[in-house]
C-alpha cells in the first residue's frame, strides 16, 4: 500500500521536500487551496523528482460560492443547475476542460472523475453520475480513470446502502475508485465498528472486481485497509487533509486544523502527543521508548530526544508534519506483506503493540487526548477478526492477483 500526499493549505513546501527526499510519490492536488498556476509549477517540480500528480476536482458541492480559489478554476461551473446540466453539455464541458487544461499539461498519471458527494442512495445521484461516467468515455485519453465516491457517514453506517451503492456502480467503465469516507461525528480516530467494517466491505468488493482503490482524507488508522489490499491511502498535514472537511467548502477560514502547538507522532504507538506530555514521559522514564525507531528514516523529531527537556527545544509544526508523513509513508510500505495471512498477522501485531504501549503510557500520565490510538485500537483489532471471518477465504486465494 502506498501513501499519497493529500494537498491542502500551506502544504506545497512539505510536498516538495518529501517527494524530493523519497525520489518518488504521488500528490493529489486541491484546487480549493492551489491556483492552476501553482499546481502547474509544483507538478513540473515533482515530475523532475520522480513523482506523480493527480487532481481531485472537488466538485462535491457544485453550488458552493465560498471558496474563491475553487471558483476561479477553469472548469468550475459558473451557473450550475441540475436541470440544465443534465439536459445539455455541462458535464462534458467540465470534463473536457479538466483534461485539456489540467490533466494533460500537468502530466497527471490518471483522471479522477468529479462525481458529486453522496448524501443518500437515490436516483438523483445515480442519474447525474451515470451521465458523468458516460461523458467520460468520450474523452480521448489513455490515462486511467477513477470514479469519486465521497460518501456521507450515514451511508457507511448502513450495510444495505453500501450494497445498493455497489450494485449501481459495478458496471462503471473505470479503472478504480477514489473513496472519500466521511467520518462519523467528524472524529479523527473512529471507534464505530459498523462504519469500519462497511468501509472495509466497500473496498474489498471493489478490489475483487479488479478495481484500484485509493482512499482519500485518511490517517494512520487506515493502515487497516491494507488487509483489503487498498492501493493507497492519502494524508496530509493539518487534520483537514486526514478527515474530509465538509464545512471547509462553506467558509473561507484558512485555519487548517485549529491547533497552535505541534504534535509528535509516535509511530510504534500509532498516537500523537503534545510536547508537554513528552515532558511527563521524560520524568517517568518513558521517553526513550517513544523515540522514533531508525527504520523510519525520520530525523524530524530527533531533537525531542536529544537529552534536553522536550518543551525547551525547537520542534515546530513543520517538523511535526514531516515526522508524521515520513513515518506513515514507511508504515504504508511495510504493512502489505507477501500473503494475506502475513498481512493479517502484521496488522494484529502493530495494533496490539500500539494498544499495549498506549495503555502503559496512560497509566503513567502520558496521553494523546483525541489522537491517542487507544480510542480506536480495540475497534481495529475487532475489524481484523470480522474481516477475516467474512472475506478471508476469498482474499487468501486472490491475494496475488489483486
The grid coordinates listed for 296 are 523510519
Cβ(288)–Cβ(230) below 8 Å: no
What is the reported pLDDT for 90?
85
Cα angle at 376 between 226 and 392, to 5 degrees? 35
Q: Put residue 52 in one of left, alpha, beta given phi > 0 → left and psi -120 to 50 → alpha.
A: beta
Please check the confidence at residue 87 and state whether its pLDDT lies above 70.
Answer: no
Separation between Cα atoms, residue 85 and residue 127, nearest integer Å: 11
Domains of the chain: 2-249 (3.20.20.80), 263-393 (no CATH)
Please tell me whether the overall predicted TM-score, pTM, comes out greater than 0.75 for this model.
yes
Average pLDDT over residues 371-388: 98
What is the reported pLDDT for 80?
74
Separation between Cα atoms, residue 106 and residue 284, nearest integer Å: 52
pLDDT single digits (tens) 122-139? 998 999 999 999 999 999
Please check the confidence at residue 93 and state whether its pLDDT lies above 70.
Answer: yes
What is the reported pLDDT for 244?
96
CA distances from 369 to 63, 152, 249, 272, 333 (A): 36, 26, 27, 9, 27
Please check the confidence at residue 254 and state whether its pLDDT lies above 90.
Answer: no
Average pLDDT over residues 14-30: 97
Q: Angle of helix 36-48 relative to helix 12-22, nearest 10 degrees?
A: 10
Average pLDDT over residues 29-50: 97
Q: Which residue has the cell 487498498?
A: 230
Higher model confidence: residue 92 or residue 258? 92
Cα angle at 170 between 165 and 171, to 5 degrees? 130
Q: How much is the CA Rg of the chain, to the nearest whole Å?
A: 21
Residue-averaged pLDDT of the chain = 94
Please check the confidence at residue 85 and state whether its pLDDT lies above 80.
Answer: no
Average pLDDT over residues 168-177: 96
Please check the confidence at residue 257 and state whether its pLDDT lies above 50.
Answer: no
Separation between Cα atoms, residue 16 and residue 6, nearest integer Å: 13
What is the reported pLDDT for 79?
76
Please check the confidence at residue 110 and state whether its pLDDT lies above 80.
Answer: yes
What is the reported pLDDT for 64?
76
Beta bridge mates, 55: 29
pLDDT single digits (tens) 113-122? 999 999 999 9
Q: If we measure between CA atoms, which residue out of 65, 20, 82, 76 comes closest to residue 45?
A: 20
Average pLDDT over residues 233-242: 96
Cβ(233)–Cβ(225) below 8 Å: yes
Please check the confidence at residue 252 and state whether its pLDDT lies above 60.
Answer: no
What is the reported pLDDT for 258?
47
Higher model confidence: residue 233 or residue 256? 233
Give the rounded percent of residues in the chain with a pLDDT score beyond 70.
95
Amino acid at each position: 500500500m502506498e501513501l499519497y500526499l493529500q494537498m491542502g493549505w500551506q502544504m506545497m513546501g512539505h510536498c516538495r521536500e518529501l517527494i524530493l527526499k523519497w525520489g518518488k510519490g504521488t500528490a493529489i492536488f486541491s484546487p480549493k487551496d492551489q491556483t492552476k498556476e501553482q499546481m502547474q509549477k509544483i507538478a513540473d517540480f515533482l515530475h523532475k523528482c520522480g513523482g506523480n500528480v493527480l487532481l481531485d476536482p472537488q466538485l462535491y458541492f457544485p453550488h458552493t460560492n465560498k471558496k474563491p480559489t475553487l471558483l476561479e478554476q477553469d472548469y468550475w461551473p459558473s451557473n450550475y443547475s441540475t436541470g440544465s446540466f443534465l439536459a445539455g453539455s455541462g458535464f462534458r464541458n467540465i470534463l473536457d476542460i479538466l483534461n485539456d487544461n489540467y490533466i494533460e499539461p500537468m502530466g497527471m498519471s490518471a483522471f479522477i472523475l468529479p462525481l458529486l458527494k453522496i448524501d443518500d442512495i437515490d436516483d438523483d445521484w445515480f442519474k447525474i453520475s451515470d451521465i458523468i461516467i458516460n461523458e467520460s468515455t468520450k474523452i480521448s485519453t489513455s490515462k486511467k480513470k477513477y470514479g469519486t465516491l465521497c460518501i456521507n457517514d450515514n451511508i457507511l453506517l448502513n450495510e444495505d446502502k453500501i450494497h445498493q451503492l455497489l450494485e449501481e456502480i459495478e458496471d462503471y467503465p473505470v479503472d478504480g475508485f477514489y473513496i472519500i469516507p466521511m467520518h462519523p461525528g467528524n472524529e479523527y480516530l473512529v471507534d464505530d465498528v459498523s462504519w469500519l467494517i462497511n468501509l472495509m466491505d466497500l473496498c474489498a468488493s471493489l478490489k475483487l472486481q479488479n478495481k484500484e482503490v485509493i482512499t482519500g482524507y485518511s490517517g494512520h488508522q487506515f493502515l487497516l485497509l491494507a488487509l483489503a489490499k487498498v492501493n493507497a491511502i492519502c494524508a496530509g498535514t493539518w487534520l483537514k487533509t486526514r478527515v474530509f472537511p465538509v464545512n471547509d467548502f462553506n467558509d473561507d477560514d484558512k485555519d487548517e486544523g485549529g491547533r497552535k502547538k505541534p504534535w509528535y507522532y509516535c509511530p510504534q504507538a500509532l498516537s500523537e502527543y503534545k510536547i508537554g506530555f513528552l515532558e511527563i514521559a521524560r520524568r517517568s522514564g518513558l521517553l526513550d521508548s517513544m523515540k522514533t525507531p531508525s527504520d523510519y528514516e525520520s530525523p524530524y523529531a530527533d531533537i525531542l530526544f536529544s537529552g534536553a527537556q522536550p518543551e525547551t527545544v525547537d520542534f515546530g509544526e513543520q517538523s511535526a508534519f514531516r515526522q508524521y508523513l515520513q513515518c506513515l509513508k514507511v508504515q504504508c510500505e511495510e504493512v502489505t506483506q507477501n500473503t494475506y495471512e502475513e498481512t493479517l498477522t502484521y496488522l494484529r501485531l502493530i495494533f496490539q503493540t500500539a494498544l499495549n504501549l498506549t495503555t502503559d503510557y496512560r497509566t503513567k500520565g502520558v496521553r494523546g487526548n483525541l489522537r491517542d490510538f487507544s480510542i480506536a485500537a480495540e475497534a481495529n483489532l475487532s475489524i481484523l477478526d470480522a474481516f477475516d471471518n467474512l472475506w478471508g477465504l476469498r482474499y487468501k486465494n486472490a491475494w496475488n492477483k489483486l
